Structure 1
Amino acid sequence: MNIAQKILSDSNILSSLKHLMWEAGDVIIDIYNNEKIDITTKKDQSPVTKADLAAHNVLIQGLSKLTPEIPVVSEEDPASLAIPETVSVYWLIDPLDGTKEFINRNGQFTCNLALIESHKPTLGFVGIPVKDELYIGGDGIQSIREKRGSSSTEEQIHCSRISADLTRVVASKSHLNAETEAFINSLEGDVELVQAGSSLKFLKIATGEADIYPRLAPTCEWDTAAAHAVLEGAGGSITQSSGSPMVYGKRDILNPYFIAKGHR
């Protein structure tokens, strides 16, 4: 039994992790709805907001109490990037994935928590703050979508089988690079473009609303880990464009180009 399975078998820890994700989503949406969004720039020139840092703090503090034996790697803590060099099990978080979408107030952002074991995401939590939804799943763990509210609902999610006649590709109509265009042109049959921001791209496949997501541009491990786990739990997969498995905990946090897809 791996750590992910142990967590899922403990209803108290699982419930607490869900509550922690709701709490992180709440601080994000409170800033999104009620405050002017102040933007600063990190060393890599990417934007960061008060919401990124507030959600980071919620997750860091909560995880330190719930699973003190498991260290945490976060996009918002550069020093934590050294952790995978010495341990094989750790949490990997992207407190606010889709900061640009958050700034543009289009709702296309998520909160992401993944458990990494031996270079693989074995359990993922993806929250959608604007919808009060939480997705949970992993390899060998049936993925679910939970809706919070007066009558909380939980349902299993599944990828669709790819049709021979139509392939629904997650890609931007206005920001296709040459590699992505070439990939799309290589597909047989008709192609329909499906647009989404942040890790919502993976969820489109996990819920059967899209078939394939070619990411032939840079991403970081925290951008993909949680949704990678959820996609696998829904029956999908992610591989490097070379066909090799995706690996986490590399010395270089950048991902190789990859292809995410549902059933075939």
Structure 2
Amino acid sequence: MFQFSDQLLKQWQHALAEIAWQAGKAILDIYRNKAVINVSEKEDHSPVTEADIAAHRIIVSALAQLDPALPILSEESPAHDIEKRRQWQQFWLVDPLDGTRDFLRRNDEFTVNIALIERGKVVLSVVLAPALEEGYTARRGEQAWRFEPGRYRDSRLAIAARPWRSEHTLRIAESRSHGRGLPEAWLQRLPAHQCVAMGSSLKFCAIARGDADLYVRCGPTSEWDTAAAQFVLEQAGGAVNALEGTRLGAALDYNQRDTLINPSFVALAPGVRALFETCH
């Protein structure tokens, strides 16, 4: 198996930004122009909308043009593709519309997530929030960037997670749909903090750009929910680690287990790890 070259990743990074934006525009067309959005329910009782499906089709078609031989695993992929995925060492991991509940609530906090996986690790990713007109991207060996959809080359700005220090108020990102994540007993032992609710993978991106310090998720998520934004955060200087009881485990990896469900995890800015480990 060959390794993706740095030059190829650079070329594909620009292409991913455009692919995500094309999917984002299809999502926005439904979001802004349809008073009633068609919704159905999956086996796990999570919602899927016509926008999820439209974005999925655009992304899968465009990624296949980049490399027809490279497998694609999307949240909306058919079951037989999900079964075959354990054989793949390199593949695209896609959430065409992360934050479907936020999309249906029309709060603008939903994203398109695309990640390229190589041997269990992300090497290239893009996260795009079409309604907020902001995007994030990273590739192996390079810093993370923020960009404006449709203006990738002209609007890129480097981002970095803010190192947390004891004199800072700890800023905790929490899920709009699933709550705080941290047990109340831990919150009481943390220093001065404030909690801000956000949707989708934007919680990772808030840490990556320096606007939050910590995000904890103890409930189930799928690998396509986290891969792209985790890599943006890591390339911005932060980390995402499995949560093993009350201790931090290894960084999340991908396609390494029988299940596509992530363990509980913690996303954190530099400096937060030591603080977090004192609260077990």
In the superposition, the TM-score normalised over structure 2's length comes to 0.87
Query: In 1, distance between residues paired with 2:140 and 2:218?
Result: 24
SS of alignment partner, residue 241 of structure 1: strand
1:110 aligns with 2:116: no
Q: How many residues align?
A: 261
Counterpart residue number, 1:153: 155
Query: In 1, distance between residues paired with 2:21 and 2:52?
Result: 15
Q: Does structure 2 retain, via aligned residues, the 8 Å contact 1:206–1:231?
A: yes
Aligned match for 1:168, one of 163, 167, 171 = 171
Which portions of structure 1, spanning 4 or more consecutive aligned residues, are displaced by more than 6 angstroms? none
211 and 186 in structure 1: CA distance in 2 versus 1, 3 angstrom threshold: same
SS of alignment partner, residue 103 of structure 1: helix
1:233 aligns with 2:235: yes
221 and 235 in structure 1: CA distance in 2 versus 1, 3 angstrom threshold: same
Counterpart residue number, 1:93: 94
Counterpart residue number, 1:23: 22
Aligned match for 1:244, one of 234, 242, 250 = 250
Query: In 1, distance between residues paired with 2:29 and 2:15?
Result: 21
Give 1:251 shift: 1.4
149 and 174 in structure 1: CA distance in 2 versus 1, 3 angstrom threshold: closer
Unmatched tracts of structure 2, length 5 or more: 272-280
Give 1:89 shift: 0.6
139 and 192 in structure 1: CA distance in 2 versus 1, 3 angstrom threshold: farther
| Matched ranges for 1:8-157 at <5 A | 8-10=9-11, 13-35=12-34, 36-77=36-77, 78-148=79-149, 152-157=154-159
179 and 205 in structure 1: CA distance in 2 versus 1, 3 angstrom threshold: closer
Q: Provide the identity percentage.
A: 38
Q: Does structure 2 retain, via aligned residues, the 8 Å contact 1:24–1:111?
A: yes
Aligned match for 2:193, one of 182, 185, 191 = 191
Query: In 2, distance between residues paired with 1:7 and 1:198?
Result: 29
Give 1:46 shift: 0.6
SS of alignment partner, residue 254 of structure 1: coil
In the superposition, the TM-score normalised over structure 1's length comes to 0.92
Aligned match for 1:181, one of 181, 184, 195 = 184
74 and 148 in structure 1: CA distance in 2 versus 1, 3 angstrom threshold: closer
Residues 136-145 or 72-81, more deviating: 136-145
Give 1:148 shift: 3.5
Residues 52-61 or 131-140, more deviating: 131-140
Query: In 2, distance between residues paired with 1:123 and 1:4?
Result: 11
Amino acid at match of 1:8: L
136 and 2 in structure 1: CA distance in 2 versus 1, 3 angstrom threshold: farther
Query: In 2, distance between residues paired with 1:46 and 1:70?
Result: 28
SS of alignment partner, residue 212 of structure 2: coil
Amino acid at match of 1:73: L
Give 1:17 shift: 2.3
